[in-house]
Amino acid sequence: MAKRPSHYSEQSEQLKEDLRQLSETVEELVNATAKDASTEMSDLRSRAERRLKDTRSRLEARGEKIYTDTRDSLSQQVDCCDRYVHDNPWSSIGIGAAAGVVVGLLLGRK
């Protein structure tokens, strides 16, 4: 069975790309202004660097938390489904058969 990328996967990849481009732009700006020795410019540069690092770390932490929560939730749902099938085998067979009939009817209408 071929895996298709989900809509959320495409959105997350686009968000990652946008954030990567933004961080590269900020880094280029910081590097371009490195030659300016004024106090105000060095303060702005240090704040931009600090905020960029903070934002990166927060996004990485949030991404890891979302990934972990999603993985845990899916494994709990799979375990629950597995327990239901083992506890109610005939009901599970009936549900599968009914779903097969519905899909067969829908496909047969073409």
Q: Indicate if the pLDDT at residue 77 is higher than 90.
A: yes
Eight-state DSSP code of residue 36 = -
pLDDT digits (tens, 9 = 90+) for 9-62: 776 777 777 777 777 777 777 777 766 667 777 777 777 778 777 777 877 888
Distance CA 64, CA 96 (A): 35
Residue 7's pLDDT is 62
DSSP states along 67-108? HHHHHHHHHHHHHHHHHHHHH-HHHHHHHHHHHHHHHHHHHH
Distance CA 45, CA 34 (A): 8
Question: Which has the higher per-residue pLDDT, 18 or 109?
Answer: 109
Provide the whole-model pTM.
0.48
* Spatial CB neighbours of 56, under 8 Å, sequence gap ≥ 6: 23
Q: Indicate if the pLDDT at residue 103 is higher than 90.
A: yes
DSSP states along 52-77? HHHHHHHHHHHHHHHHHHHHHHHHHH
